Amino acid sequence: MNSRVMHRLVEQVRQIGREERLWSSGDCIVVAVSGGPDSVALLHILYQLAAEPDLKLRLVCAHVNHGFRGAESNEEAEFVRRMASKLGIPFELGVYNIPAYMKESGHGAQLAAREKRYEFLHSVAEKYGAGAIALAHHADDQAETVVMRILRGSGSSGLAGMRMKRREKNVELIRPLLRIYKNDLIQMCEKTGIPYVTDSTNLLPKYARNAVRLDVLPFLGQYNSGLTESLNRLAEVVGTEDDFLQQKAEQVYQELIFNEGGIFSFKIEPFVALHAALQRRLIKLILNYLPLGTEDNDFTKIEAIRKGAIQNLPTTWSLDLGGGLRCMREYDMIRFMLDPMGNSGLPYTYPVEHFPAEISVPNTEHCLRFTRYRANMGSISLDELGDEEAVFDADKLLYPLTVRSRLPGDFMKVIGLNGSKKVKDIFIDAKIPPSSRSQIPMVTDAEGQIIWIPGLRRSAIATVSQHTTSVLRIALDTRRFN
């Protein structure tokens, strides 16, 4: 047995593990082993490292029978079981009927198999208290991944390819072979006499990854003999830069983003000052925090939000993000939220026939308080009134009054104007965010005329004068709409 090749790869993986902090002394690692040369080499390399006094790693061999190839799959499972037994490593087998799961879930073969495989590996990690799951992806796999993501139109995060270490469900997914090429792994197995099996489905071009491996990469390799190495360098460089950009985005997120009750928002002025790359990354980060989540092909959606934020007009707009989520521009703010209409968009009507009275405004923390009194019993100077209260000549009002939700086409006779003004225009002039407008009630008289928009404007109806003997005071509690 020639151990020189194995020794070189063991040293290389030891160095990678140290640089990337893939494990610590005494760690338990679940090793995913399919039976092919890559995973078999990984198991034997980690077996060599595990025995070293300064590491003392505990290994668990995990194999998944996907149920695609009948007897061939069963033979592979038994092959991996015998290998683990020979090495004295605990063995765990997961058996799934992936074709049946494909019909149940509607997923394609590769996605369905991946979901069940990772589900099993995580269950094994939980059973043994393992902190990591070791996967046998190598440099050739990385090159294939980068090409597939280029074809899919991925951004920088996608072009970074697979990561050496990624946390998922409180377990680290580690790829110790990611800088090692497949030929080296096969050579190690053959020169050391380590047996492995060959999965016949790896030669079927109907699977996208196989087509990239068998057709696309060889074709492109005609123009660059070092294509695989170039693609790995690309992933390495882009991955590092992507990490840096992500750190900057998270820093900016802490500085600019407000989160109030699940509504994420930011002011436009500091956002516009950011580099376009940070603008996109910040929007993507917000979407990731929402129940929506994003994929690389969400570029169009992210760019629509970004351009809508940096343009001068229009100053209000709304974009449906799907899944009941919406992004809205409201003058100098961008907001991300669940559909803002929701229940707050339901119409309501409350008659006010007796005084004093108190009406709670639906879906807000506000209420309107009505009080009637004689003018000589504590008259209020009109100059002292704020936006949260209004007074009327009680004898000039038409009763009963009504508190209702806003209606399309609402208008009001405004003090100082010869005529009426649309409520919509009043909101626009006051720069009331569209998402807040449905929360503002209208107070009307018996003829449906709006006498007050709480917190905003009073009508020209029933104004108080020196001849007023009875006053109706309406106050808005507890805070303004904003």
Mention every residue, 6+ apart, whose C-beta is less than 8 A from residue 225.
Answer: none
CB of 144 closer than 8 Å to CB of 213: yes
Measured distance CA(318)–CA(280) in Å, rounded: 18
- Measured torsion, CA atoms of residues 214, 216, 217, 223, in degrees rounded to the nearest 10: 140
Helix residue ranges, H only, 153-298: 156-159, 182-192, 208-211, 217-220, 227-256, 268-272, 276-289
421 CB contacts (<8 Å, ≥6 apart)?
Answer: 411, 412, 414
Residue 383 in marked binding region: no
DSSP for 109-158, written as a single string: HHHHHHHHHHHHHHHHHHHHT-SEEE----HHHHHHHHHHHHHHT--HHH
DSSP state of 311: S
Residue 230, annotated ligand binder? no
Element of type H or E holding 108: none
Decide if 334 contacts 271 (C-beta within 8 A). Answer: yes
37 is in an annotated binding site: yes
d(CA 267, CA 276) in angstroms, rounded, equals 16
Residue 414 per-residue DSSP state: B
Cβ atoms within 10 Å, residue 329: 21
User: Phi and psi (nearest 5°) for 28?
Assistant: -100, 130
Is residue 39 annotated as involved in ligand binding? yes
The Cα–Cα gap between 256 and 53 comes to: 49
**Binding-site residues for ATP:** 34-39
**Binding-site residues:** 34-39
